[in-house]
Amino acid sequence: MSHASTNTVARANADRGDSMERVDFDLHGIVGVRLLDATPRDAETVASQLGLPRGRLDRRPEITIRFVAESSVAGPLRLIGVDEAAFDDGGFLILRGPRKSPVAVRIPFEQIGGPNCEIVCRRGAPGIPLLIPIINAGALSRGYLPLHASAFEWQGRGVVVTGWSKGGKTETLLAFASRGARYVGDEWVYLDPHRGRAWGIPEPVTLWRWHLAQLPHVRRRIGWKRRLRLGLFAAVARAAERAVQSRLAAKVLPVDLLRRSLPALQRQLCVNVAPEQLFDTGPPALDPRPSTLDHHAMPVDRIVFTGSHADEGIAVRPIAGSAVAERMAFSLAEERLPLMSSYRRFRFAFPRRANSFLDRIDEVERALLQQALGGRDALELLHPYPVSIPALFDCLAPHLEDEFESSASPQAAPLPTARAVCLTS
C-alpha cells in the first residue's frame, strides 16, 4: 500500500472516530510488545489476549504488531492446507485465528525470538494467532523460562504449581486462594532461573461448572447471566447425552450428529473470569511505567508437580526437581505444537529461511528447566479427576507448612465441608 493511500485510510478512520494509535505492553521487562496504527478495538483485543494493561516502553520492542486496512499481496498467493496458511513473494500468512476464525496475519517466522519481530495484521481481526507462543519464544531467547503453571503466595511464600494441561493447576490455585493465598498467575508463569523469581500475567481464569458447584462464594461472583448460560448449556448437554443413549431417540433423531456435537457442547460448560473479579487478594495493579525485573516478582519457594491418577484419594510425596524438569520439557513442547506446526509450513514455503533459535528451542528450554528446577526439592500432587477442591488444600497445605516457617494465619473464605482422603506415600 502506498504512503498516500495509507494516509487516506487513516484520515477516513479518524473521521469515523476510529483513530489510529500506538500502544505498548510490557511483560515485566522480559518482552515488550508495541502496536502500531491500531484502532481502539484492536488494542482492546490484544490486551485481552495478553492479560496486560497498556504500558510505556523505554526501549525498542521485541515484538511489533502493525495494523493495516487491507492485506497486500506480493505476487501469486499460494495456499498451504485448506484455509490454514499461505505465502507469496513477500512472506508467510496465517489464515486462521482464535477459534479458527478467518484472518490474514503476516508472521515472519525467521524473526521469532530475535531482537525485533514485526507482525502485520489486518484491522478488526478477532485476535493475533500464536501471539502467546511467540512471546514465550522471545522470553526463552532472553534466558527466561515460560512455565505452564499457576502461581500464588501463601503465608508469605511463593508456590508454583506445574504439570500437564488439565492436571490440576487451576484447582490448586482455587483451593489456596479460597484460604487467603494471593493470586500471581494462572496458565503461564515466567521464571528467572538465576534469581529464583517468578512473574505472572493476569490472564482470565477458566472455571468449569463443577468448580462453581464446589465453591459457592466463587459462583456468586460470576453474575447471574453467566450462571444462566452455564445452566442452559448443561441442560442441552444432558438432553443430548440421553438422546445418544436412547434406542427410541435413535429412530427419530440424528443421533450421529448429536454424538459428534457433544464434545463441543461440553466445552461450553465453563466461563473465563478476570482474576480481579475472583480474588480479594488478587494481583497487584501492574505499573504502567517502564518495567524493571523487580516489579511484582514472586520468590519461588516451593514447586508442586500436579497430575491426576486412577485412585480415589489425594497423594502428596517428594519428587526431585530434576525429574519435574525432565517431564515438563515434553509438556511444554506439546504446548508449543501450534507454533512449530506453523513454522514447518513456513519452511515448506521458504526452505532456505530457517530460524536457528526455533530449530534448537527444545534444547534451550531443557537447559532453562534444569537451571530453574533441577536443584530444588519439589512435591508431587496426585488426585482423582474431578477432584474435591477443598480436599486439595487439606492434603497439600500440611506439606507446605512443613517448609514455611510462618505463624501468620491468613484470612480465609470458608470452604464447604469436604472429606479429604489423603493417601500416604
| 369-402 pLDDT, tens digit each | 999 999 899 999 999 999 999 999 999 999 998 6
Least confident among 70-84, 246-260, 289-303, 353-367: 246-260
Alpha carbon distance 128, 190 (integer Å): 21
For range 192-220, the mean pLDDT:
91
Is 191 a residue whose pLDDT tops 60? yes
Alpha carbon distance 187, 140 (integer Å): 16
Q: How many other β-carbons are positioned within 10 Å of the β-carbon of residue 188?
A: 22
Is 15 a residue whose pLDDT tops 80? no
Burial degree of 78 (CB within 10 A; 0-12, 13-18, 19+): exposed
Residues 6+ apart with CB under 8 A from 42: 35, 67, 121, 123, 124, 125
Residue 55 DSSP class: B
Q: Which amino acid appears at position 233 of this protein?
A: F
Residue 202 confidence (pLDDT): 85
Residue 14 grid cell: 479518524
Residue 307 confidence (pLDDT): 97
Sign of the CA dihedral with 79 first, then 114, 330, and 302 last: negative
Nearest to 386 by CA among 180, 260, 259, 207: 207
Residue 75 DSSP class: S
Is 319 a residue whose pLDDT tops 50? yes
Cβ-contact 122, 1 below 8 angstroms: no
Global pTM value: 0.84
Least confident among 4-13, 96-105, 210-219: 4-13
Phi, psi angles (nearest 5°) of residue 192: -100, 105
Residue 331 grid cell: 509438556
For range 171-179, the mean pLDDT:
95
Residue 295 confidence (pLDDT): 53
Look at the domain 145-204+275-423 and name its fold: Phosphoenolpyruvate Carboxykinase; domain 3 (3.90.228)
Residue 288 confidence (pLDDT): 42
What is the three-class DSSP state of 364?
A: helix
Q: Where are the domains of the chain?
A: 3-139, 145-204+275-423, 210-272
Residue 155 grid cell: 503465608
- In DSSP terms, which residues pair with 147 in a beta bridge? 189
Nearest to 188 by CA among 64, 27, 25: 27
